[in-house]
Amino acid sequence: MTISLSDLGWSAHFMMQIEADDLETFTPARISQVHRTRLDALTVGGEASLITKSTDTTGDFAVGDWVLVNNDGQVVQLLDRLSVLRRKAAGPQSKPQLIGANVDVIFIVTSCNKDFNPARLERYLVLARAAEIQPVAVLTKADLTQDAAGFERRVQALDPMLPVLSLDARNKEQADTLADWWRAGQTAALLGSSGVGKTTLLNSLGDMDVLTMGIREDDAKGRHTTTARGLYSIAGGRWLIDTPGMRELGLHDVAEGVDAVFADLVGLAANCRFNNCNHEDEPGCAVQEAIASGDLDPDRLKRWQKLEREERHNNETIAEARRRNRDRGRYIKRISSERMAMKGRPPK
């Protein structure tokens, strides 16, 4: 089977970044998997294993990236992305971790059982809105509940304009309805926690047999099956990025996404009497008035405030973080000294 650059997702956006003779010297390649010391990629000539320049690491690249490669299989240029998905990397430092690049639509997958979590859904929505990528909510295990419509209403309560699909991920005919959301040459990404059916959807869409595992019956929480992000070919010339389950999704540099997902609260806050209103017990608080009238769920306010605090914390500069830690250290030292003095012991 012959495959072209456009089949892989190449477009004028990428062509405009290179010189005309670059295609004679270098090979365009699309990253399909990122490993610790190498990159797997797809080219018109087939699969390839790539290495980075000494000044780069594989962490600088995302599944879905377009790169130019020399004859030695070394990446010489990373092309500017159309879109990029990133989250906060694990650990105390606020560093971004790349999830995927050049994505056209995000399927946010959750299930119709006890694992359904509005706060987690909002986090994925924030991620999608910040990246300016169309999100679609996919409710799996709809065949195992008598209230799939109820789960749909709970999703649309978060965003009335969000498309919602309910299905049995094992049913190929139902899974194929996702294909209406992206066309040949475009790329979708599956996001969601473990056990919600992402890999099952991948199997149904791509006629594959990627390993899947069941969920724990006591809490309906899943077990990790996908261990690395990968770019897969789907029927109709489409591409799909499958990702490992992310139960904890730290956010990084998503202020615009938070505002977009909580646009109703942002609008209400603009009508508060005081610009610095904390939306607690201040007079003239439009947010609290909406809660009192039953127009706003107080839990939604708490989730918004939590994401706002997290966004500010994760995006503080290194200097700010050091100052905060230094001030905290001084505070702890002062409290310790005061306690020692109260006990009649000299402070250390």
Out of 87-96, 255-264, 274-283, pick the least confident: 87-96
Q: Return residue ranges of the chain for CATH 1.10.40.50.
A: 262-314
Token pair listed for 52: 């980075």
Q: Return residue ranges of the chain for CATH 3.40.50.300.
A: 84-242
Superfamily of domain 12-78: Nucleic acid-binding proteins (2.40.50.140)
pTM of the shown model: 0.82
Q: Return residue ranges of the chain for CATH 2.40.50.140.
A: 12-78
Whether 107 has a pLDDT exceeding 80, the answer reads: yes
What backbone phi and psi angles, to 5 degrees, belong to 238?
-90, 165
Whether 51 has a pLDDT exceeding 50, the answer reads: yes
Out of 143-157, 199-213, 253-267, 289-303, pick the least confident: 199-213
Residues in Cβ contact with 59 at an 8 Å cutoff, skipping those fewer than 6 apart = 34, 97, 98
User: According to the model, what pLDDT value does residue 209 have?
Assistant: 46
Whether 244 has a pLDDT exceeding 80, the answer reads: no
Under DSSP, is residue 169 helix (H, G, I), strand (E, B) or coil? coil
Residues in Cβ contact with 119 at an 8 Å cutoff, skipping those fewer than 6 apart = 303
User: According to the model, what pLDDT value does residue 41 have?
Assistant: 97
Class of domain 262-314: mainly alpha
Q: How far apart are the first and last CA of the chain?
A: 75
Mean pLDDT of the chain: 86
Whether 338 has a pLDDT exceeding 90, the answer reads: no
Which among 49, 88, 107, 100 has a CA at the least distance from the CA of 252?
Answer: 88
Token pair listed for 129: 């809105």
pLDDT tier at 277 (50, 70, 90 boundaries)? Answer: very high
Residues in Cβ contact with 81 at an 8 Å cutoff, skipping those fewer than 6 apart = 62, 65, 66, 101, 102
User: According to the model, what pLDDT value does residue 245 have?
Assistant: 62
Token pair listed for 150: 């109820």
CATH topology for the 84-242 domain? Rossmann fold (3.40.50)
Measured CA to CA, the distance from residue 242 to residue 55 in angstroms comes to 28
User: According to the model, what pLDDT value does residue 314 have?
Assistant: 77
Altogether, the residues listed in the chain come to a count of: 348
User: According to the model, what pLDDT value does residue 243 have?
Assistant: 85
Mean pLDDT, residues 131-158:
95
pLDDT one-digit tens code per residue, 202-227: 999 875 544 443 444 444 444 444 45
The sign of the torsion formed by the CA atoms of 188, 191, 196, 202 equals positive
